[in-house]
Amino acid sequence: MGKVVKIFLNQGFTPIDNSLFRRGTLLDFDCYIQRFNGFAILIESGTFIDDDIYQKLIKRDLQIYVENKNYDLYKKYREESLSKTYHLEENENMSFEDADKNCINIYQIVSRAKSINEKLKAIYMSAKYLFDAWIKSKEEKYIPIEAIDILSEELVSVVNQERITLSKFNDFLDEYDSLAAHFVKVAFFASIIGSRIGIDMTDQKKLVVSAMLHDVGKCELDESLLNKPDFLNEDEKRKIQTHSETSVYLVKRSGLKDRIVLNAIKQHHERLDGSGYPHGIDSSRISPFAKIIAICDMFDALITIKPYRGAYSTYNALSLMREEYKNRLDSDYIKLLIKHLR
């Protein structure tokens, strides 16, 4: 709750309709509630509306106000909300077309966010809603490559604006398991490494695109297999291990033919000692981007709550990877993530 502004109701504030607030949008004006004989800021300008903030704003017994000087900004927001230009509905009701349009227009949302955290949250939530809608869409066979390309470019741009650490993501990354969240979290972690290894922003974007698409082949697998709480038998392991090449097939079918991206996706389960899949190649033949995605993929798996265990802390997850997988994962990239924990 913000500070109380010592102005009475009829001296500069106007009530607004809180039913028009939408997930996935960004506020260009402060939202106030009445408190005693004045007003207090409830939500500050520049805030991205995620699920938690949305629930706070739409309470039926809550009357929200804007300052009269900002009423035109509210009117513009209301028009955009009604037209659904940047509208993300609840996941179960959101169309793939709306989510795709929102991501293609992501620059307009990010450019209005006032803090790095809000910019990152806008990209994360928009990407997650896009993948959620794509996964649930029975008719949509092709991956939304254009939207993913735009999201990746925007993420790389924001991450290069200042020194980003893993702790910056704590406020909005999901701790529960879902394919959509996993795709995007791996891309976010990869963006930190990519911004610190001396590659240009074009290659950083290729890394982020690869990370965002690395597991799309899992959408072709049975959900009960992906969420099985017990150990997998040999037949189930073989089925799971098809997802890397299925991901490559889906990405190519959707029009993305970049060999660097395709190799990173295909090889992200290969290991330095040759113990990985699908081809059991060793370090000398594994793409550098695949080595990065392998680390980010495992890191997210460890810090995410699973049906069969709780989540590791970020530090414990990275320490485990450094000690237990030192012959299979690139230790230099793990050290980079440890260095950028906070």
Tokens in use for 336?
């980079």
Per mean pLDDT, which of 16-25, 97-106, 144-153 is the most reliable? 144-153
Calpha distance 32→27 (Å, rounded): 13
The average pLDDT across 121-126 equals 92
Tell me: pLDDT of 151 over 60: yes
Q: What is the domain partition of the chain in residue ranges?
A: 4-82, 89-339
Contacts of 7 (CB under 8 A, 6+ apart): 13, 38, 39
At residue 283 the predicted structure's pLDDT band, cuts being 50, 70 and 90, is very high
pLDDT at 93: 55
Pick the more confident residue, 88 or 231. Answer: 231
List, edge to edge, every strand of the sheet that includes 31-35: 4-5, 38-43, 31-35, 64-67, 13-16
Dihedral of the alpha carbons of 261, 263, 123, 194, in degrees to the nearest 10: -90
Tell me: pLDDT of 11 over 90: no
**Phi, psi dihedral angles at 151 (to 5 degrees):** -60, -45
Tell me: pLDDT of 45 over 60: yes
Tell me: pLDDT of 276 over 90: yes
* Stretch (H or E) spanning 3: none
pLDDT at 83: 59
pLDDT at 91: 43
CATH number of 89-339: 1.10.3210.10
Dihedral of the alpha carbons of 291, 294, 298, 304, in degrees to the nearest 10: 120
pLDDT at 115: 87
Q: For the whole model, what pTM was predicted?
A: 0.79
The average pLDDT across 82-98 equals 56
At residue 59 the predicted structure's pLDDT band, cuts being 50, 70 and 90, is confident
Mean pLDDT, the chain, whole residue set: 88
pLDDT at 211: 98
pLDDT at 96: 87
- Tens digits of per-residue pLDDT, 153-181? 999 999 999 888 888 888 788 888 899 99
Tokens in use for 101?
């349009």
Pick the more confident residue, 52 or 218. Answer: 218
**CB burial string 88-117: b at 16+ within 10 A, e below:** bbebeebebebbbbbbbebeebbebbeeeb
Least Cα distance to 315 among 124, 185, 178, 166 occurs for 166
Residue 162 backbone zone (phi > 0: left; psi -120 to 50: alpha; other: beta): beta
pLDDT at 24: 76
At residue 108 the predicted structure's pLDDT band, cuts being 50, 70 and 90, is confident
Calpha distance 1→253 (Å, rounded): 49
pLDDT at 285: 97
Tell me: pLDDT of 255 over 80: yes
Residues in the chain: 342
Lowest mean pLDDT segment, chosen from 91-100, 124-133, 143-152, 203-212: 91-100
Cα angle 289, 291, 208; round to 5: 35
- What secondary structure does DSSP assign to 17-63, as a single string? -GGG--TT-B-SS-EEEEETTEEEEEE-TT-B--HHHHHHHT-TT--
Lowest mean pLDDT segment, chosen from 39-48, 53-62, 66-75, 127-136: 53-62
Contacts of 179 (CB under 8 A, 6+ apart): 131, 135, 215, 218, 219, 226
Contact 83, 158 (CB under 8 A): no
The average pLDDT across 263-279 equals 97
Going along the chain, which residue ranges are E strands? 4-5, 13-16, 31-35, 38-43, 64-67
Amino acid at 135: I
